[in-house]
Structure 1
Amino acid sequence: MSAEVPLPSLPVTFRPTRTRVVLLTVGTAMFVVLTAVALMLERLGPGERVSFVFTAALFLGVLTMLSRPKVVADDTGVTVVNITRTRRLAWAEILRVNLRPGDPWVFLDLSDGTSLPALGIQPGVAKQQAIRDARALRALADSRGTGAEGA
């Protein structure tokens, strides 16, 4: 990745948009279908109807959580929002941005010796977009922090 990557204007949000759209669409459709089935089946009692709607809401909630991941870069650092956790990093904490062939998402090598998965950039559905996003985040980390060159 030796080609010069233009720096995006800040703040910028990286997220797997196609995956998010699919998850939220399927979750909403399933909620509507299960709720409609619960209301249309005459043999169901009130408790059973409520359990259908509760199950539909639970399913939608899980898919909504799976659609949360994003990476937000601004002037002071990066916020990594994964499925259940959010972590704020200063630019100086990010040593390297990695997206190797076969990786399910970007990994950030941090100054404390750990690696943080950033699920907001994942090549599953939109591989080329994920590569562009990873390059842009890498360029930002290199220009604003102590990022390693040639990562």
Structure 2
Amino acid sequence: MSASLPGSPELPALPATFRPTLTRVVLLSVGAAMFVVITAVAMILENLGTGERTSFVFVALLFFGVLALLSRPRVTTDADGVTVVNITRTRRLAWAEIVRVNLRAGDPWVFLDLSDGTSMPVLGIQPGIAREQAIRDARTLRALVEFHGSGVNDATRNG
């Protein structure tokens, strides 16, 4: 599965960023709409005190904050490696640390098999809403990993 095989993606210029754009737009739009609606309700209700109105706005901000946090995942590649930003964690990986990029049928997002024997979820590429885009992004990331010398060689793997 090298970048030179037919059907392999063309390598993008680095740095390149992959993120679930449609999911991000939906989450941030819903968060903003919820904030506006809850705040408007708090201001319209006549029998609420200042403390109660403040509580409504605080809850609206909390909802928006959670949805903004859920919209955070992305993968950024550069000449030195990959930065994976998931919901609450960010991890920097050298190209050589990534053994394989996996997106199997039914997976909620891409997984990276790492040289230390662990697997890492990459929420920045997820087939939920935009399946075809996620597949293209996963193939491109796989081609970048193979091109940048991760030491991955199909002849050295057992499957």
State whether residues 78 and 89 of structure 1, in contact with CA within 8 Å, keep that contact through their aligned partners in structure 2. yes
Superposed displacement of residue 56, structure 1:
0.2
**Separation in structure 2 between the aligned mates of residue 99 and residue 108 of structure 1, nearest angstrom:** 9
For 1:71, the aligned partner's letter is V
Superposed displacement of residue 51, structure 1:
0.6
RMSD: 1.3
What SS class does the counterpart of residue 88 from structure 2 fall into? coil
What SS class does the counterpart of residue 28 from structure 1 fall into? helix
State whether residues 93 and 145 of structure 1, in contact with CA within 8 Å, keep that contact through their aligned partners in structure 2. no
What SS class does the counterpart of residue 38 from structure 2 fall into? helix
**Separation in structure 2 between the aligned mates of residue 81 and residue 147 of structure 1, nearest angstrom:** 24
Q: Which structure 2 residue ranges, 5 or more long, are not aligned?
A: none
**Separation in structure 1 between the aligned mates of residue 117 and residue 79 of structure 2, nearest angstrom:** 23
Q: Does residue 110 of structure 1 match 2:132?
A: no
**Separation in structure 1 between the aligned mates of residue 116 and residue 32 of structure 2, nearest angstrom:** 41
Q: Which structure 1 residue ranges, 5 or more long, are not aligned?
A: none
Partner of 2:150: 146
CA spacing shift, 1:118–1:102, aligned 2, 3 Å: same
**Separation in structure 1 between the aligned mates of residue 136 and residue 151 of structure 2, nearest angstrom:** 17
State whether residues 96 and 147 of structure 1, in contact with CA within 8 Å, keep that contact through their aligned partners in structure 2. no
Q: Where do residues 32-47 of structure 1 align in structure 2 (5 Å cutoff)?
A: 32-47=36-51
State whether residues 123 and 130 of structure 1, in contact with CA within 8 Å, keep that contact through their aligned partners in structure 2. yes
Superposed displacement of residue 90, structure 1:
0.4
State whether residues 8 and 139 of structure 2, in contact with CA within 8 Å, keep that contact through their aligned partners in structure 1. no
| Correspondence for 1:82 among 82, 86, 90 | 86
Query: How many equivalent pairs are there?
Result: 151
Partner of 1:136: 140
Q: Where do residues 113-128 of structure 1 align in structure 2 (5 Å cutoff)?
A: 113-128=117-132
Q: Does residue 93 of structure 1 match 2:86?
A: no
- TM normalised by structure 2 equals 0.91
State whether residues 95 and 145 of structure 2, in contact with CA within 8 Å, keep that contact through their aligned partners in structure 1. yes
Percent of aligned pairs sharing the same letter: 72
**Separation in structure 1 between the aligned mates of residue 28 and residue 39 of structure 2, nearest angstrom:** 16
Partner of 1:57: 61
- TM normalised by structure 1 equals 0.96
